[in-house]
Amino acid sequence: MIEWAAYYWQRLQNRQIIPGLPPWGPEALAIAGLLIFVIFVARIVIPLLRELGALIAGGAEWVTGTAAFGIVFRPVHAYLQTHSSGLPVSAETVWWTWWAFGIVLLVLATFSGAHAARIGWLLYGAAATAMVYQGTAEPARQVAAGIAVLWWLGFSLPALRRKRMPSTVIAYVPELLSDRLNDQR
Model confidence over 88-144: pLDDT tens digits? 988 889 988 998 999 899 989 888 878 898 899 999 999 999 999 998 888 889 999
* Segment 180-185 long-range contacts (CB within 8 Å, at least 24 positions apart): none
Residue ranges per domain, the chain?
1-65, 66-162
What is the overall mean pLDDT for the chain?
Answer: 79
pTM above 0.75? no
Q: Are 106 and 159 in contact (CB under 8 A)?
A: yes
Classify the C-alpha dihedral 81-77-114-160 as positive or negative.
positive
